Amino acid sequence: MGKRLLIIDPAFSEGEGHHLAANVLLTRTAHEAGFDSVRILCRNSCPLPAIADGLGETEPTFDSTPYAAFRVGDLPRLAALNRKAQEDFDAIPADMVRDGDELLVHTVNEVQFTALTRWLAQMLETRDIRVRLALMFPVGLEFSEDGVTGVRDPAAAMIFRHGAARLAPFGDRVRWLGIGRSIAREFNLLTGNAVGYAPALVPGIGAPLAEKPDGAVPNIVLYMGDAKFDKGFHHLPAIITRLRNSPRDFRATVQVSGGVIGHFTEMRQALESAAQGDPRFIIHNGRLSDADYEQVWQQGHIALLGYDPGVYKYKSSGLCWEAMNYAVPAVVLKDTFHHREVTGYGFDPIVVSDYWPEQLFAGLERGLAALPQMAPAWQAARAGFVDQNQPAQYFAEDLPGLPGGGQAADLRTHIQGWQRRCFDAFVGGA
């Protein structure tokens, strides 16, 4: 029958975005790694019968989605969502998973983690398979260089902790991966498991960089992706107004692929009004083609990652990895995932302390002034990032990462009694 890979992705439901890009990249890499076939178990609403030029077939499987109630922090609600997900997993045909298969689950969060790990345990008990789980979302801890300092999301932490314990008896038949150094460390601290650093899912990893002539007008990657408050979309009109009043020469790109926040229409109108009549601003409404998306980054000189530091203290970001891959110096908020991630790979960003338009604009001004020094430094650091984030590492036997078997965090010292009782009822004992 040949070597088979099953990608389990209940969130894959659209012909664009992160999940499509990740599945295309992983499918192509799996074939290069010697897999004869790849099947992606996706949502029933997925419009694509195949991806990556037919290399990977989709299998509509899930009615539920892991994004149904993102970061709800409410165990009864999470329990209900997991029960719904369990129905989807239980309905998977018995012959879908066979002896010798490898299973890869990526972009895992807490909304379906209990259902997922119960199903995986059943598969591991009855079939000779191997499983790799790649976590991309925070697992609920507050931590420092010295270890765990608190629990910011008890529901997520407890669900991840118990799910990992459920799969622990299967030893190295289950490989744990953290997409990003912060996520790997957080999960290691939560569970005591060995956690590898999974490569960032960057489709154009290591692509040759376009020539940027000396003295060229700098291009600012000002905003990319869905309109979200936690990504600073609402700050754009004020930042654009300040840029317009700057004597500095520049070009700036804003790309908005969807309206997620409330008052999106009003915010987009405010953004377009702020940029109206100024040809230095290029605003794209809707998804860019792969070629156009790459061109934005290839032509970029500096990127603003003006993300809410409260939300993105631990939450990961694909644009952070894009900036490193294309050696585009970034402006980041202090003590965020972006800050730790870029410095961890040896990049030196412009760091902003306050999440206000005037501070974000000031960070851009500092970055533009420092480009003659920053640009070559980021190009030099890029080689290490590319080397450590080759997608083939997803299928390697050994990954760089954190040692396992250490003392896991004592959640009970950080969690209120009512939360413990609620969780005990949910999982059947802690």
Domain at 4-199+391-427: CATH code: 3.40.50
- How much is the pLDDT for 328? 97
How high is the pLDDT of residue 281? 94
Averaged confidence pLDDT in the chain: 87
Report, at the CATH architecture level, how domain 219-388 is classified: 3-Layer(aba) Sandwich (3.40)
- Asked whether 314 and 182 are in contact (CB, 8 A), the reply is yes
The yes-or-no answer to whether 4-199+391-427 and 219-388 have a common fold is yes
Q: Output the pTM of the full model.
A: 0.84
401 pLDDT above the threshold of 50: yes
pLDDT for 379 equals 96
Closest CA to 380 of 327, 344, 328: 327
| Tokens found for residue 65 | 């989605």
Residues pairing with 100 in the sheet: none
Neighbours of 12 (CB within 10 A): 29
Separation CA 226–CA 248 (nearest Å): 28
Given this model, what pLDDT does residue 103 score?
97
Question: For residue 430, what pLDDT is reported?
Answer: 36
Q: For residue 20, what pLDDT is reported?
A: 87
Residue 274 neighbours by CB distance under 10 Å: 18
Q: Domain ranges in the chain?
A: 4-199+391-427, 219-388
CB count in 10 Å sphere of residue 145: 5
What average pLDDT score do residues 120-129 get?
A: 97
Q: Which amino acid is at 164?
A: A
Highest mean pLDDT among 49-58, 150-159, 285-294, 335-344: 335-344
User: Whole-angstrom Cα distance, residue 391 to residue 368?
Assistant: 32
